Structure 1
Amino acid sequence: MLKLFSNNFWDFIARKILRNKIGILLGIIVITILLSTQWKYMRFTYTEANLLPDDHEVNIKYNEFLKVFGEEGNLIVLGIKDPKLFTVEKLNAWNNLSESFKSAPEVETVISIKDLQKLVKDTDKEQFKLEPFIKDSIKSIAQIETLQDELFNKYPFYDNFLFNKKSKTVRTAIYLKKDIVNTPARKDFVLNNLEENIKAFETANNMQVRVSGMPYIRTLNAQNIVDEINLFVIAALVVTSLIFFLFFRSFRATLISLIVVCIGVMWTLGFLGMLKYEITVLTALIPPLIIVIGIPNCIFLINKYQHEVKSHGNKVKSLQRVITKVGNATLMTNVTTASGFATFILTESTLLKEFGVVASLSILAIFILCLLIIPIIYTFLPYPKERHLEHLNKRWIGGFVNWMEHMVREKRITIYITSLVLLVVCIIGIYQIRISGSLIEDMPKKAQFFKDIRFFEEEFNGIMPLEIMVDTKRKKGVMKLSTLKRMDKIEEFIVETPELSKPISVVDLVKYSKQAYYNGNPKYYQLPTSQENSFILSYAKNSSSDVDLLSNFVDSTGQYARITTFMKDIGTDRMERIQENLQEKIDNTFPKERYNVTMTGKALVFQKGTKYLVKNLAISLSLAILLISLFMAYMFRSFRMIVVSLIPNLLPLVVTAGLMGYLGVPIKPSTILVFSIAFGISVDDTIHFLAKYRQELQANNWKIKKSVYGALRETGVSMFYTSIVLFFGFSVFIISSFGGTVALGALVSVTLLFAMLSNLLLLPSLLLSLERNIANKEVLKKPAINIIPEEDNEEVSISDKE
């Protein structure tokens, strides 16, 4: 009954498509135009990828910090390491460059050497006042020598903030307004104002300026993502269409396929705009993915059409059979592929959810476009020429099919031993996989901004902010000497940790105040005693508002304080050890009944997010396997068939995981996608093979060997074609400048190649070895869905009325 319904349904679909071709084409054009109007709503991401759910403890702590102190990632730093800087002309030019940014509406404040102030005691008014190190401009070398002596030897407050006294590296700090950090205004400032002024300075003074800081890195990284979307789409179109043409030797067929996938890409971009999703490093991969996945659909449909035309020469009957016979199979394979992507929707990560939604919608859309456009266009075209059908008789393809059949027939034990050895070796490799929680590991290594990150790591111990927020649980509790002493202990621990930069907090300001109280003597750069504290604080309270240095480090109530340090780009394991050691020091220093101390910052949030994704990897992959197993159960109604079909698809995943371990490719947000994507695509070959195998069993009176070899010969060529397209299609990601995208492309390509061999060698071998348990009428009952309908002689006339 279900079989009859399936056949009737696809016959009905075929009639509707072929009889309403003009209306359908117009409908596709209208939908494409409507979706193209949504492109204007596409937004490029202006924030880091937050991999954690909104209600995750780490995100909650980070958001609490932002409520108290505002956006922490608003610092851009300019650095210069050149002996020529310490000349009158060059130092004035450097100060003028820094000064030029102060007038920008996006900038809150700029701190350069020229802006540095001495904290000086005014005995008459019993208050502190600020005096600049440089009053106007540098006029002599003697002034520069005095400035160097004061900065590098007398005022430790500024050490490792605006200069490195060992290497004489100098930098300028530009703080953007916190409300524009995550908006397009940041991009305008960085790409126009900042970069143009720096290039002009470099040209005029023949010195290299290093630039870094999270707003700058995020802007250039996002720009690279945008630039690579076009690169990927063009590369995917060129590679897949070239392979397609080499297989079919038909400009007509190649052009039709290109039209289909280009419309698919337009729909994908429309979905992104319509759903108001940001373009991230993940969603940027979807347009080329649709090209790579759409071309195999075209191959199956056009290949079937050409087979049918060559067989009986009736174009209408051929197009009907394309829809009824290949439509069902491609629907199932596209649904399983979409399921692999859709499992990401079930994770709690917004980044992965958005990727899963758009990818699964786009895959189903490209299936519908292929099924509608290809048969309709061919109704308007003449019969394929003889040269267009020559690929059906290629000798080398026949040789490949013969080799597969020989291996399955004669070398079955070799196949099993090879599979087993691969399994054992790769399981060993899996234990060597590491997890990466680095914010910058996937960034383009050849880009100048990445080299600048390494420069600042070497000179100032990192640029990724790590924040410690101290809640004293009472107003004005921060300025208590007991609190300051506890904070100082934490800072001493941070200084002793080589991967962290010198911290800055209210403690440093209080030490600076004591130094100022003792007329700038650097040996008094320390916390005051309880007796000194009252005198020094009275000076601080009497100071004018111009000397309000506390605002960046203490909240307005005096209840909260922050300790800011910067972290090098280090491995996840080392980062976790530092965090554990720092947390232990915090717990031992601050009594929990009196203080609530939290550790946060972008570096920590990203690292925790990566750990969270690794846990979700197992969940999403398990869901993909379960979902696809349910499809197989529904289609074949056989538990044994599910087990047999999963084995050749899970082996390539183990091989890929093993390769990651041996090659040192870490688990990170980009490479996590490999397994679910590859599994969803590779199981398509299994469905095609088993569907044909069951049909061969029925046609050959349940003769197993004949049916296996028949299915192998019939599906081997299409599986080979599509696997080659997918292999080279995913390989285009290797041209990316992002390490994670390169790894994703290479790993998916390798996985799909192994999956093809596994489905063409291991799967038929298992069917033959387990023939008594698998291939019988009791096990292979009539399927719920007849994927490949039996041959029939019915023709559909395009002009027939219903």
Structure 2
Amino acid sequence: MWKRLAKFVLQNRLVLLILLFLCTGLMAFYASKIKLSYEFSKAIPTDNTKYQDYLSFKNKFGDDGNLLVIGVQTDHFFELKNFESYRALNNDLKKIPFVENVLSVVNAANLLKDTAFQKLNAIPVFDSTLNSQTQLDSSKKLLYTLPFYKSLLYNPKTNAFLTVVRLNKDVLNSPGRTKVINDIVKAADSYTSQTNIQTHISGLPLIRTEVADRIAHEMKWFIIGSLALSALILLIMFRSVSTTLLSLLVVIIGVIFSVGITYLFGYKITLLTALIPPLVVVIGIPNCIYFLNKYHSTFKRTGNKKQSLIDMVSKMGVVTLFCNLTAAIGFAVFALTNSAILKEFGQVAGLSIMLIFVISFILLPGALSYMPVPGRKQLNYLDVRFFTNLLLRIEAWVLHHKKIVYTITLVAVIFSVAGIFKLKTEGFIVDDLPKTDKIYTDLKFFEKNFNGVMPLEIIIDSKKRFGLAGTRILPVLTKMDSLSTYITSQKEMARPLSIAEGIKFVKQGFYDGDSAYYSIPDSYQAAFLGEYLKPNNDSGSKKNNLSNLLSSFIDTAKESTRMSINMADVGTKKLPVIIDGIRNKTNELFDSSKFKITFTGSTVTFLEGSTFIINGLKQSLLWAFLFITLCMLYLFKSLRILICSLIPNLIPLVITAGIMGWTGVRLKPSTVLIFSVALGIAIDVTIRFLVNYKQELPVNNFNIKKTVSETIKHTGLSILYTSLVLIAGFIIFCFSGFGGTQSLGWLTSITLLSATLTNLVLLPVLLLATGKKDI
């Protein structure tokens, strides 16, 4: 079959090459239309209850992920010059397109009672024109008598001040968000240059935009880096520019197809799909090495170019096919998980890996048939003394030191198992960023001074229309205030913002600004406050910030209200504990027969998404193991060989997991790829070895010892070269700015290195120990 395919490819090489390049041009057109993804809740299935709760919340109250915060910390904030500069910053922020609202102490309002018209007027705490430091000091004293703003906009203990910037939600889902964020950063930098006061910026819009832009930037450099490194290795190996360029052409076409497929599937570039093009390069190069190594070794032996090409395709076709198939399985199994972002990665990566086989199968023999025969220099790598001596040493270890091989393997496994017990499963929203990164340090600034900026929402549903209208809301407000007190006592959470805080502020205004009255009104006080809470009928007046607060924290049906909390990035391990504590408190305060309490927001969806991704790892590993086992069983049709092949590939995974435990690398969404990907790629070495072993066994009259020895000598060279390329290719990821991608790089490299050793040393030992003539 494979010989017929080889002859078909060579006889129709021109037509096949033309078709390949036409398809490549078409896919390049689609690839040029690819866009970045700005969605961050795709880890959760759309039918998930918590995802549905989040959608319901957004429909009622709007997006919770459109707030950006700017903070400063200085003892000189209320010096006239610095204060005016901060006011200028706020004014500059308001002028930026798609900035909907800006709130800080400079535009804080006080409520003054107008008895004649029975209303509360929102009067700026700080006049628009401040004439003296004395006037500013007076306004400062007034601000400090308003508990509503304390800890929300300023922290008097640390002299930290906060500006909240609300952005248009539509621009946050478009490429235009980058310019908006950059304009805000420029405005903050301008303030810093004028006052020498450092600004800190955080919030989901900034984090998401910066991460997305860095993904795009890294994707380009990873492709360039992996191509450059592969070119260098190939050039050193083959000593031929034409052969190197041909190999690079194979993987470049593969990259174009992978990006084009991403677009055709309706997907965008995410943190995971951005890894696919460089992975295609890393995995595609060994295809070229397998084919070219066979072509060169056969040509060196026969001197017949045509026969060498037929031999290359017929003998290496099945090997390369199954190598790519198992690698594709390692990726494609993610498509079987419940996580949308993992499904996208699995579908595109799995199909791309199989296409790189088709591309190399058509392009390499077709192009080589038009190229001159390989010269002596190009064949020198077949007899490199260093690798020859290394393989002879491996052969000696396999044949004469079996007990030492078993001992070293056992020690490595015991050491790794001990490390596995130290392995932790925990993820943070920004823990893939270096601890010195400004995004990370700024986030920690807000956690230190304002208890964080990650949004958590608590929805209190009365279960009936107008259930929170009129005086019926008073008992609810009292319970909300008690809940707020409990939440504020948690060191990882800021004081909640809710309609209860707004009503307390109104009561203080009604009592002439006396902070002693900043509390929930009783039924008697509420009767007097009722008139003052009616909306202003003056159509020409604009809503002030308090009016916006009251209207945005209770739905139009007066059925449900929200409590918005900013909290620290506590991680997936601690967050459920915190939420359970709040849930226990809500169960004490609210009768479940009358109220439904829902916890939602970006923080909850992140937790749920992380859970799905981690569970997706377990599913994907099981599926990958099952499918690869079936492939190996089909290929070798021997249970003994199947067992011998799986052991050398499971041990490297155990070693990797153990290293993660010992080095403190947590199992988290960004590191879930390591095991399935490494298993899919590492098994290639096994297939390469065992297929050659199976082919050589009859030639050596089923002499197991001699066949193992010959297989190490003949196959070991291409295994070493391909492993070198794969390890070097994954090392590229170590230069990423994301911790998870760095871990993928060095941990996968370690897995591949250990898999190379186990397949060249332990696998032959197992074959010798269990050897029979039944293969």
Shorter-normalised TM range: over 0.9
Superposed, which structure 2 residues align to 1:543-692 within 5 Å?
A: 543=536, 546=543, 548=547, 549-692=549-692
Note the C-alpha offset of 1:542: 5.7
- 1:81 matched residue in structure 2: 73
Superposed, which structure 2 residues align to 1:724-763 within 5 Å?
A: 724-763=724-763
2:304 matches 1:314: yes
Structure 2 distance, partners of 1:609, 1:215, is 18
Note the C-alpha offset of 1:543: 4.4
Native 8 Å contact 1:95 1:113 kept in 2: no
Write the letter of the residue equivalent to 2:163.
T
Residue number among 406, 412, 418 corresponding to 2:408 in the alignment = 418
Name the SS for the 2:95 alignment partner.
Answer: coil
- 2:254 matched residue in structure 1: 264
Structure 2 distance, partners of 1:100, 1:531, is 45
Note the C-alpha offset of 1:135: 2.7
Change (3 A) 1:85 1:698: same
Structure 2 distance, partners of 1:11, 1:695, is 15
Residue number among 15, 26, 29 corresponding to 1:34 in the alignment = 26
2:271 matches 1:274: no
2:241 matches 1:251: yes
- 1:788 matched residue in structure 2: none
- 1:161 matched residue in structure 2: 152
After superposition, the C-alpha distances for 1:176-195 in whole angstroms (9 at most, x for unaligned) are: 1233332233223112x323
Structure 1 distance, partners of 2:101, 2:697, is 77
2:216 matches 1:226: yes
Name the SS for the 1:184 alignment partner.
Answer: coil
Structure 1 distance, partners of 2:32, 2:309, is 38
After superposition, the C-alpha distances for 1:215-236 in whole angstroms (9 at most, x for unaligned) are: 1111111111111011111111
Native 8 Å contact 2:66 2:167 kept in 1: yes
- 2:16 matched residue in structure 1: 24
Structure 2 distance, partners of 1:281, 1:446, is 21
Structure 2 distance, partners of 1:565, 1:141, is 35
Structure 2 distance, partners of 1:101, 1:305, is 65
- 1:532 matched residue in structure 2: 525
Structure 2 distance, partners of 1:180, 1:248, is 51
Structure 2 distance, partners of 1:161, 1:182, is 27
Structure 1 distance, partners of 2:135, 2:164, is 23
Residue number among 113, 124, 127 corresponding to 1:132 in the alignment = 124
Note the C-alpha offset of 1:72: 0.8
2:330 matches 1:340: yes
Note the C-alpha offset of 1:29: 1.5
Structure 1 distance, partners of 2:283, 2:4, is 26
Native 8 Å contact 1:477 1:483 kept in 2: no
TM-score of the pair, normalised by structure 1:
0.93
Structure 2 distance, partners of 1:251, 1:63, is 56
Write the letter of the residue equivalent to 1:562.
R
Cα-Cα RMSD = 1.6
- 1:518 matched residue in structure 2: 511
Native 8 Å contact 1:478 1:484 kept in 2: no
Native 8 Å contact 1:221 1:443 kept in 2: no
Name the SS for the 2:599 alignment partner.
Answer: strand
Change (3 A) 1:387 1:765: same
- 2:394 matched residue in structure 1: 404
2:134 matches 1:142: yes
2:475 matches 1:482: yes
Structure 2 distance, partners of 1:446, 1:19, is 59
Structure 1 distance, partners of 2:80, 2:699, is 93
- 2:286 matched residue in structure 1: 296
Note the C-alpha offset of 1:166: 1.4
Note the C-alpha offset of 1:389: 1.0
Structure 2 distance, partners of 1:328, 1:75, is 55
Note the C-alpha offset of 1:525: 0.8
2:443 matches 1:443: no
Residue number among 30, 36, 44 corresponding to 1:44 in the alignment = 36
Note the C-alpha offset of 1:656: 0.6
Write the letter of the residue equivalent to 1:177.
N
Change (3 A) 1:207 1:542: closer
- 1:198 matched residue in structure 2: 188
Note the C-alpha offset of 1:84: 4.1
Native 8 Å contact 2:342 2:613 kept in 1: no
- 1:790 matched residue in structure 2: none
Note the C-alpha offset of 1:538: 2.5
2:340 matches 1:350: yes
Query: More displaced, 301-310 or 129-138?
Result: 129-138
Structure 2 distance, partners of 1:63, 1:437, is 23
2:493 matches 1:496: no
Structure 2 distance, partners of 1:591, 1:298, is 68
Unaligned runs of 5+ in 1: 1-8, 781-802
After superposition, the C-alpha distances for 1:85-144 in whole angstroms (9 at most, x for unaligned) are: 323232222212211232344122111333211112111222211111123132211122
Write the letter of the residue equivalent to 2:485.
E
Note the C-alpha offset of 1:271: 1.2
Name the SS for the 1:571 alignment partner.
Answer: coil
2:170 matches 1:179: yes
Note the C-alpha offset of 1:486: 1.2
Note the C-alpha offset of 1:444: 4.4
- 1:452 matched residue in structure 2: 442
Write the letter of the residue equivalent to 2:173.
N
Native 8 Å contact 1:126 1:542 kept in 2: no
Name the SS for the 1:467 alignment partner.
Answer: strand
Write the letter of the residue equivalent to 1:337.
A
Structure 1 distance, partners of 2:464, 2:100, is 30
Write the letter of the residue equivalent to 2:110.
K
- 1:239 matched residue in structure 2: 229
2:773 matches 1:776: yes
Native 8 Å contact 1:445 1:737 kept in 2: no
Native 8 Å contact 2:230 2:725 kept in 1: yes
After superposition, the C-alpha distances for 1:25-82 in whole angstroms (9 at most, x for unaligned) are: 2212211111111124312011225312111122122112112111111101111223
2:7 matches 1:15: yes
Structure 2 distance, partners of 1:358, 1:542, is 54
Write the letter of the residue equivalent to 1:416.
Y
After superposition, the C-alpha distances for 1:475-520 in whole angstroms (9 at most, x for unaligned) are: 3433621111111121111111101111111111111111111110
Note the C-alpha offset of 1:350: 0.9
Native 8 Å contact 2:126 2:136 kept in 1: no
Note the C-alpha offset of 1:298: 0.8
Aligned residues: 765
Note the C-alpha offset of 1:765: 0.8
Write the letter of the residue equivalent to 1:770.
T
Superposed, which structure 2 residues align to 1:58-77 within 5 Å?
A: 58-77=50-69
Native 8 Å contact 2:427 2:666 kept in 1: no
Change (3 A) 1:554 1:387: same
Structure 2 distance, partners of 1:542, 1:607, is 39
Write the letter of the residue equivalent to 1:167.
T
Name the SS for the 1:124 alignment partner.
Answer: coil
Structure 2 distance, partners of 1:605, 1:434, is 21
Native 8 Å contact 2:339 2:616 kept in 1: no
Note the C-alpha offset of 1:734: 0.3
